Amino acid sequence: MTETKKSQWNSNFAFMMAMIGSAVGLGNIWRFPKVLYTNGGGSFMIPYIVSLFLLGISFVLVEYAVGYRFKRSLARILFTISKKLEPVAWFILFTVFLITTYYVCVVGWDLIYIFLSFTKAWGANPDVFFTQNVLHATESMTGLFTIVPTVLASVIAIWFITWFIIKRDLNEGIGAVSKVLIPLLCVIVVIIVAFSLTLPGASVGYSQIFTPDWSALTNLDVWLAAFGQIVFSLSLGMAIAMTYASYLPEGSKLVDNAMIVAFSNSGFEVFNSIGTFSILGFMAVTTAIPFNELVTSGSGLAFVVFPQVFNIMGDAAYVIGPLFFICILFAGITSIIALLEGFCYSISEKFLIERKKTATVVCIVGCLISAIFTTAAGSTILDIADAFLNNFALLFAVFLECIIFGWIYKFDNLIETLNEHSRIKVGKTWKVVIKYILPVCIAGLWLEGVLTTINNNNELSSTVMLILTAIVIIVPIILAKLPAINKDYYNVEN
Ligand code: PHE
């Protein structure tokens, strides 16, 4: 047996912190505010809460039940259900691994900004500074041959930190780090939000969240946006909850745990957005730039708009600036370690490689792939990879999981597993959601993504997406075809 397989959380708290760490990430900090703003402000909370309960929590419960029941890696779970499904598992795991390779790069940019923020070294034009001085960005593909040394160094640093955590035993690594970083993250966010509320113009910002646009509720896109945010923010379909739940001891209260994690994650993003909007309100009032021009998402919000705000904030920015970037670092690292765990566990279980060695190989390969994103053309490729992997591949993965666990596997087993020790019980409604409602919603979201991409497509993105499609099909097939070293892997009893 592998070392990883015997792993078990030594406390429910460690498991919860790791789960919250996996969910709270860049998506909560820089994706949510824009999604909220462009989809009706206050009224968005209705589709958001409905999506959280109906779809988000329901799907997390599937992952919990499967992981807890099988106590195996995803690759072996799908092999157990049907031999033919093993490539699907590797497809999911490998897609998540590829997502991690660029996610690490973004956290690497953030690491650079922690240092810059102590002196506001981005100067008077943070937008030019970000694209030219930090990324050295070019859209031409010849940029692929120019590595940007600072970005490469910080990406290596993030991979090193990741390796240092995941190579350890579950509790000494992921458990211990999550138990420290997640409470610290909460303290930092409380400080940032409390401070931002004292800024002149804060109310101009946060009132945007509390002013509902009820007409948005009749717009299907708003509902899809809410659902999309829940999928991304709760890290659905990435085999994280499944892997973490497989390390739970007998007698764990699965449903209760899932609820706490989902509410904490959403609570975090809603609370944090009050701070973000207050800060943007301050900027709008001070500079007379219209509020809607300030609300961006992604790297534009974190590395351009926020530095612009820190420039006009005075001395307080020397404290709030570093705290903001440290917050992204902590949220990012706890997500990265979670994103890798399912892949590492599956490799280590199938090929009987001990945890430390698996972590080393995965981190080295990951770092080599990340190097592509540290070139001058890296940020252009990163955007294309992100659109493809998140909008297509990942949603497809969630869809496949619904079909496999809702239709192919005996679903009632999962109901039995969940209700065994939990105070809150699940039943027929949950079954209907997983079998019918969820797959339809995901298909809608997926189609919307396909249509948007087709409309905005150019030659470069088509080429990159085609290459990625080939990779996410070929590599999983190879991984599935390779014979298992672990003979227990072929034992299909459950
Ligand atoms: N949920 C995390 C976040 O919001 C992790 C995640 C990473 C989700 C990458 C999707 C893709 O950042």
Region 429-441: mean pLDDT is 93
Tell whether ligand 1 has an atom less than 6 A from the beta carbon of residue 335.
yes
How do residues 291-310 score in pLDDT, each as one tens digit?
Answer: 888 888 888 889 999 999 99
Query: Ligand 1: distance of its center to the CA of 390 in Å?
Result: 9
Tell whether ligand 1 has an atom less than 6 A from the beta carbon of residue 320.
no
Q: What is the rounded CA–CA span in Å between residue 316 and residue 410?
A: 57
Per the DSSP assignment, residues forming a β-bridge with 212 are 41
Query: Ligand 1: distance of its center to the CA of 235 in Å?
Result: 5
How do residues 365-376 score in pLDDT, each as one tens digit?
Answer: 999 999 999 999
Candidate from 69-78, 267-276, 438-447 with smallest mean pLDDT: 438-447
Query: Ligand 1: distance of its center to the CA of 92 in Å?
Result: 14
> Using N-to-C axis directions, what is the helix angle for 86-117 and 317-351, rounded to 10°?
160
How do residues 469-478 score in pLDDT, each as one tens digit?
Answer: 999 999 999 9
Tell whether ligand 1 has an atom less than 6 A from the beta carbon of residue 409.
no
Region 313-328: mean pLDDT is 96
Looking at the predicted structure, is the pLDDT value of residue 5 above 60? no
Best of 35, 335, 341, 390 for a ligand 1 pocket test (most atoms within 8 Å of beta carbon): 335
Query: Ligand 1: distance of its center to the CA of 28 in Å?
Result: 8
Which of the residue ranges 28-42, 46-60, 151-165, 372-386 has the most confident prediction, judged by mean pLDDT? 151-165
Query: Ligand 1: distance of its center to the CA of 428 in Å?
Result: 30
For residue 338, give every residue at least 6 positions away whose Cβ sits within 8 Å of its Cβ, in sequence order, or none: 18, 21, 22, 174, 235, 238, 240, 244
**Mean of per-residue pLDDT scores for the chain:** 93
Atom of ligand 1 nearest to the CA of 99: 9
User: How high is the pLDDT of residue 494?
Assistant: 65
User: How high is the pLDDT of residue 430?
Assistant: 92
- pTM comes to 0.94
| Residue 298 DSSP symbol | T
> From atom 10 of ligand 1, which residue's Cα is the shortest distance away?
232
User: How high is the pLDDT of residue 275?
Assistant: 95
User: How high is the pLDDT of residue 299?
Assistant: 85
User: How high is the pLDDT of residue 6?
Assistant: 63
Best of 29, 107, 233, 243 for a ligand 1 pocket test (most atoms within 8 Å of beta carbon): 233
Looking at the predicted structure, is the pLDDT value of residue 180 above 70? yes
Tell whether ligand 1 has an atom less than 6 A from the beta carbon of residue 272.
no
- What is the percent of the chain with per-residue pLDDT over 90, rounded to a whole number? 78
Candidate from 5-14, 72-81, 313-322, 437-446 with smallest mean pLDDT: 5-14
| Residue 129 DSSP symbol | I
Tell whether ligand 1 has an atom less than 6 A from the beta carbon of residue 32.
no
Largest CA distance in the chain: 67
Looking at the predicted structure, is the pLDDT value of residue 348 above 50? yes
Instruction: Report residue 391 CA to chain centroid gap.
Output: 13
Best of 28, 34, 182, 232 for a ligand 1 pocket test (most atoms within 8 Å of beta carbon): 232
Looking at the predicted structure, is the pLDDT value of residue 464 above 80? yes
Q: Which of 324, 394, 378 is nearest to 137 (CA)?
A: 378
> From atom 3 of ligand 1, which residue's Cα is the shortest distance away?
25
Query: Where do runs of H (alpha helix) occur along 315-376?
Result: 317-351, 355-373
Looking at the predicted structure, is the pLDDT value of residue 4 above 50? no
Q: What are all long-range contacts of 462-470, with beta carbons under 8 Å and residues at least 24 apart?
A: 464/381, 464/384, 464/385, 464/388, 465/384, 465/388, 468/98, 468/385, 468/388, 468/389, 468/393, 469/388
3-class secondary structure for 417-447?
HHHCCCCCCCCHHHHHHHHHHHHHHHHHHHH
Looking at the predicted structure, is the pLDDT value of residue 492 above 90? no
How do residues 126-141 score in pLDDT, each as one tens digit?
Answer: 999 999 999 999 988 8
Query: Ligand 1: distance of its center to the CA of 234 in Å?
Result: 7
Place of tokens 């966010």: 189
Region 53-73: mean pLDDT is 94
For residue 192, give every residue at least 6 positions away whose Cβ sits within 8 Å of its Cβ, in sequence order, or none: 272, 275, 320, 323, 324, 327
User: How high is the pLDDT of residue 103?
Assistant: 96
Atom of ligand 1 nearest to the CA of 332: 12
Query: Ligand 1: distance of its center to the CA of 1 in Å?
Result: 31
> Using N-to-C axis directions, what is the helix angle for 355-373 and 86-117, rounded to 10°?
60
**Structural domains in the chain, sorted by start:** 12-490 (1.10.4160)
Candidate from 61-70, 91-100, 391-400 with smallest mean pLDDT: 391-400
Tell whether ligand 1 has an atom less than 6 A from the beta carbon of residue 21.
no
CB 167 within 8 A of CB 355: yes
Q: What is the rounded CA–CA span in Å between residue 121 and residue 157?
A: 21
For residue 242, give every residue at least 6 positions away whose Cβ sits within 8 Å of its Cβ, in sequence order, or none: 63, 64, 66, 67, 74, 77, 342
User: How high is the pLDDT of residue 300?
Assistant: 85
Candidate from 165-169, 359-363, 402-406, 422-426 with smallest mean pLDDT: 422-426
Query: Ligand 1: distance of its center to the CA of 146 in Å?
Result: 28
Query: Ligand 1: distance of its center to the CA of 456 in Å?
Result: 24
Query: Ligand 1: distance of its center to the CA of 182 in Å?
Result: 15
Tokens of 311: 């420039």
Q: What is the rounded CA–CA span in Å between residue 20 and residue 14?
A: 10
Query: Ligand 1: distance of its center to the CA of 32 in Å?
Result: 12
Best of 92, 235, 238 for a ligand 1 pocket test (most atoms within 8 Å of beta carbon): 235
Region 245-252: mean pLDDT is 93
Tell whether ligand 1 has an atom less than 6 A from the beta carbon of residue 100.
no
Query: Ligand 1: distance of its center to the CA of 190 in Å?
Result: 21
User: How high is the pLDDT of residue 2?
Assistant: 41
| Residue 378 DSSP symbol | H
Q: What is the rounded CA–CA span in Å between residue 129 and residue 122?
A: 6
